[in-house]
Structure 1
Amino acid sequence: MIRRRAPNRRLRVGLLVSSVLALATFAPATAWAQDEEQEIIDALVAMWAAIEGGDLDAYAQYVHPDFTAFGENDVYLAEGKGLELRSYGDYLNRARDVHTEMHQPQVTIRGDVAWITYYWTDSGRIGEERFTSRGKSTRIFVREGGRWLCIHGHYTAVP
């Protein structure tokens, strides 16, 4: 009669320890990446919250000095943080009860550069007229001084 030897206990323990160490090595990196992705989403939501609250200074804290944008109806590239703030300042003088929602965000991070694609819906009032819109967008963020700043936005309204 041939007896099978039970697997070596040391081998089983070694494999278990190796597996746990491998998971521990990758798990924090995954959690860290998810935290950074959430930072990008949170920055964009904070930008929208500042607009909803009519706080142009709070919005400005998330806009990079070299900001550029292709707006929903823009023919040409809008360049500079100053232009962005003047445009939003004008908008805030006319709009009220503004609310924006993000749908299906996808964040990609490559070092100190990140981009987020998403769909949006928003609503509000200009004068007595209620408005709604929806669209798709890409925003690019750069990390400077430990903060994520929006350096470019591209927005497309969809019917």
Structure 2
Amino acid sequence: MATATQAILGIERRMVRDFNAGKIDQLLAAFHPRVAGFSSTRQKRISGRGALRKTFNYYRQASSRTKYRISNPQVQVFGDSAVATFYWTVELGGGRPRHVIEGRGSHVFARNRGRWQIVHEHFSRAH
């Protein structure tokens, strides 16, 4: 059985893969239905999976080619809660030069019935 840290890192890796493949439904499955958070693309709070879907679609539609990556993920576990922090990069476009957006992100996870889900997301651009 995977440790909590391994399980959460696996979720983060799958989310990168699913976003880049355009599998938004699979991506959203990692989030609690009542997820709340903040996006780097808008000022107002995001509430629920539907609002999160709009944020993901914004990036997917912003360019003919979108690539999302994370680096240096770290996980802190506190019983049935955990925080994952990481740096992220989004590349828009396929030519040179590409438009690259960088920032920092965090996910707060809660474990319910043995399953880890994201209950809060915060993404901010690096300035």
Common fold: TM-score over 0.5: yes
- Contact 1:52-1:97 within 8 A present in 2 as well: no
Provide the aligned length of Structure 1 versus Structure 2. Answer: 125
TM-score normalized by structure 1?
0.68
The aligned counterpart of 1:35 is 3
SS at match of 1:72: coil
Query: Which residue, out of 104, 110, 113, partners 1:136?
Result: 104
Query: Which residue, out of 64, 67, 71, partners 2:32?
Result: 64
Residue 53 of structure 1 deviates from its aligned partner by 0.3
The aligned counterpart of 2:48 is 80
The aligned counterpart of 1:50 is 18
Tell me which structure has the larger Cα radius of gyration.
1
- Which range moves more in the overlay, 42-51 or 91-100? 91-100
Judged with a 3 Å threshold, the aligned counterparts in structure 2 of structure 1 residues 73 and 54 are, in CA distance, closer, same or farther, namely closer
The aligned counterpart of 1:122 is 90
Task: Mark the runs of 5 or more structure 1 residues left unpaired by the alignment.
Answer: 1-31
Which is richer in helix?
A: 1
- Which range moves more in the overlay, 34-43 or 148-157? 34-43
- Which range moves more in the overlay, 106-115 or 86-95? 86-95
Task: Mark the runs of 5 or more structure 2 residues left unpaired by the alignment.
Answer: none
- Contact 1:115-1:141 within 8 A present in 2 as well: yes
The aligned counterpart of 1:99 is 67
Which is richer in strand?
A: 2
After superposition, what is the alpha-carbon deviation per residue over 1:58-82, rounded to whole angstroms, capped at 9, x for unaligned?
Answer: 1121111111111114322111111
TM-score normalized by structure 2?
0.83
What is the CA–CA distance in structure 1 between the aligned matches of 2:56 and 2:30, rounded to whole Å?
Answer: 13
Root-mean-square deviation (CA), in Å? 2.3
What is the CA–CA distance in structure 2 between the aligned matches of 1:81 and 1:110, rounded to whole Å?
Answer: 25
Identical positions, percent: 24
